[in-house]
Amino acid sequence: MSQFTLNLIVIGASFALYIGIAIWARAGSTAEFYAANRGVGPVMNGMATAADWMSAASFISMAGLIAFTGYDNSTYLMGWTGGYVLLALLLAPYLRKFGKFTVPEFIGDRFYSSSARIIGVVCLLIVSITYVIGQMTGVGVTFSRYLEVSNSTGLWIGAALVFCYAVLGGMKGITYTQVAQYIVLITAYTIPAVFISLQLTGNFLPQLGLFGTHDASGLAFLSKLDQLVTDLGFRQYTGHHNSTLDMVLFTLALMIGTAGLPHVIIRFFTVPKVSDARKSAGWALVFIALLYTVAPAVGSMARFNLTATMWPGAETGETFSAEPITLEAIETSPDLEWMRRWQLTGLLNWEDKNGDGFIQYYNEANAANAPVAAIVEEQGLVGNELTTVNNDIMVLANPEIANLPGWVIAIVAAGGLAAALSTAAGLLLAISGAVSHDLIKGTLMPNISERGELNAARISMAVSILVATLLGLNPPGFAAQTVALAFGLAASSIFPVLMMGIFSKRVTKEGAIAGMIAGMLTTILYIFTYKGWFFIAGTNMLPDTPDAWMFGISPASFGTIGAVINFAVAFIVSRMTQKPPVHVQELVESIRVPRGAGGAIAH
């Protein structure tokens, strides 16, 4: 059976499962559409939350980032998992006790202002739309590689699938579909990691293999990897090279950005009791840890396998004592068919620049440093000939690089799609709820019937899917930075207002509005200053380099500063305005006090 046929069978079977669940769990009321009728148990909700959270960024990109940066990108692991601790302790149970459907609804009621609610909607839409573009783009890339269709065709197939189970099922359908998607994605991530760990280190558990011994050389695996990459002029894999201040701020931005992501927060509105919200966060951490503890091993072993492929024989000796891979082998060898297939996607490419029949892979930026300098002079190299290696291919290509069985490759394809589609559905539901429940029901048409609101929710979700697909077909220039922008905006706008709304009786509607606007605008201005307006090349006012960043703070880390600005402005303005009404202060007190923890408050 061909690899294409295997891919088609496995991916098709997973799609049939998702659609079947959507038909079975179709939402019949707004309560089911927005919050699954608050009937999801904590274990199942934890699993659905894990799938909602572990997007294409976690499944596809994170290990790739770790593969090419190493230790420094452990910030993603620390920040994203730390965000769930904040959710479990500081937000989830209190928001569930409030008893509403959406984040903007909480903001509007707590700060007794429709204007605050609308600004909350704006923040939610900016965060969610930028995030969902990356998911839809990831769907297109995965389809184009494994089903051998065009990127645009893959996007439309993915959009149609999301339409079937998200528009029909709402939160109810999405929840049960995400449980299935979690099982698919964690299986797809773990199985190849186990195979590759056994190949390289003899350890069944990848987590142990990462710190084990490399079988072929007898060295510690990470020591051998360090030797390989430093021989080629790259930075030491296990070293720390970035600014410590920026690393701390970036980790904090990811943490509070995670805690402020609307599509994650609304998952905790689906459980029966307030205590279940905290349990759900705990279970989500367990299910997330099953992937996140494997990711460092996947990233490091993918980097090792790629380097060993380009320098056959380097596994047992010095890198440059081995002969580089030949162009003929790349073009003809069955074991290297994965390179030819990935070249078609544009995410991997090479060029024999000096016409010697070899493809040399090294860091030309350090070509003046030994031992790279000697081999560059000896062989007359004119530059790194592996011209394109996109980070995002590492997880998807890893089983092919390691020559794993075809069924493993097919499962990985299904897992990548499950990760992207599960998060896309959650984001689209958050967008749909903000439009139908907060704008239409809450502001424009308060007397709309439940059936009318349900139809409006489905129509707004369908429109959101269409917009996300069109943006994925023709992504704006900032598509590669959407995750950083989404986290930065969530950290600087949504997280602070939720924290102040729960834990401070003194913050007023004027303070909340001013804080959200200040946090959001300063973060946008900082990011656009270095990345360019809408990230169009040449429009940035300052170069995007560490030397030019203010105090060495990268645009991706500025969400933490934006959050501080939000808090400061909100408290200052609140002190200058009249205290919130007594009933609002009592509302805040009732949210925080443990009594009645079995259900939501009545108001």
Angstrom distances, CA of residue 305 to CA of 197, 212, 398, 427 = 11, 16, 8, 35
Query: Any idea which residue has 């965000």 for tokens?
Result: 83
pLDDT-derived band at 26 (thresholds 50, 70, 90) equals: confident
Helix (H) or strand (E) holding 349: strand 348-349
Strands, E assignment, 255-327: none
> CB of 78 within 8 A of CB of 210?
no
568 pLDDT more than 60: yes
Per mean pLDDT, which range of 113-127, 164-178, 252-266, 270-284 is the poorest?
164-178
Query: 500, exposed or middle or buried, with CB in 10 Å at 0-12, 13-18, 19+?
Result: buried
| Confidence at residue 319, expressed as pLDDT on a 0 to 100 scale | 66
CB atoms near residue 483 (< 10 Å): 21
Q: How confident is the model at residue 201 (pLDDT cuts 50, 70, 90)?
A: very high
Averaged confidence pLDDT in the chain: 84
The predicted pLDDT at position 72 comes to: 78
What pLDDT shows up at residue 478?
40
Using only C-alpha atoms, the chain has a radius of gyration, in whole angstroms, of 25
Whether the Cβ atoms of residue 474 and residue 533 lie closer than 8 Å to each other: no
Band (pLDDT 50/70/90 cuts) for residue 599 is: low
The DSSP call for residue 358 is: B
Higher pLDDT, 598 or 342: 342
Using a pLDDT cut of 90, give the percent of the chain over it: 27
Question: Residue range 398-421: average pLDDT?
Answer: 87
User: What domains are there in the chain, each with its CATH number?
Assistant: 12-301+402-475 (1.20.1730.10), 312-394 (no CATH)
Strand, helix or coil for residue 381 = coil
pLDDT value, residue 507: 96
pLDDT of 594: 54
In the prediction, which pLDDT does 510 show? Answer: 97
- CA contacts within 13 A on the Cβ side of 172: 18
Contact 384, 360 (CB under 8 A): yes
d(CA 179, CA 20): 13
pLDDT digits (tens, 9 = 90+) for 350-380: 999 888 888 888 887 776 665 667 777 776 7
Instruction: Kindly report, residue by residue over 223-275, the tens digit of the pLDDT.
Output: 999 988 888 888 888 887 777 888 889 899 989 998 888 888 888 888 888 88
Predicted pLDDT at 193: 94
Q: Whole-angstrom Cα distance, residue 126 to residue 94?
A: 25
Q: Which residue has the higher pLDDT, 162 or 460?
A: 460
Note the pLDDT tens digit of each residue in 44-90.
999 998 888 787 777 877 888 888 888 777 788 888 888 888 888 88
Cis check for the bond before 371: say yes or no (omega within 30 of 0). Answer: yes
Q: Tell me: the pLDDT tens digits for 573-589?
A: 999 999 999 999 998 88
pLDDT at 287 over 90: yes
The tokens for 492 are 């600087």
Each as own residue / partner, the long-range contacts of residues 163-168 (CB below 8 Å, 24 or more positions apart, any chain) are 163/462, 163/465, 164/18, 164/19, 164/22, 165/18, 165/19, 165/21, 165/22, 165/425, 166/22, 166/425, 166/428, 166/429, 166/461, 166/465, 167/458, 167/461, 167/462, 167/465, 168/22, 168/23, 168/26, 168/27
Res 140 pLDDT > 90: no
Residue 427 is predicted with a pLDDT of 83
Which of the pair, 400 or 365, is modelled with greater confidence?
A: 400
Longest dimension (CA), the chain: 81
Q: What single-letter amino acid sits at 216?
A: A
* b/e burial code for range 88-109 (CB count within 10 A of at least 16 → b): bebbbbbbbbbbbbbbbbbbbb
Q: Dig out the tokens for 567 from the structure.
A: 């808090």
* Coil, helix or strand at residue 425: helix
* pLDDT tens-digit readout, 452-484: 888 888 888 888 888 878 877 765 444 445 666
Between 443 and 573, whose confidence is greater? 573
Residue 280 three-state SS:
helix
Tell me how far apart the alpha carbons of residues 82 and 205 are, in angstroms, rounded to a whole number.
Answer: 24
CA gap 450, 432 in Å, rounded:
15
How do residues 491-529 score in pLDDT, each as one tens digit?
999 999 999 999 999 999 999 999 999 999 999 888 888
What is the model's pLDDT at position 506? 94
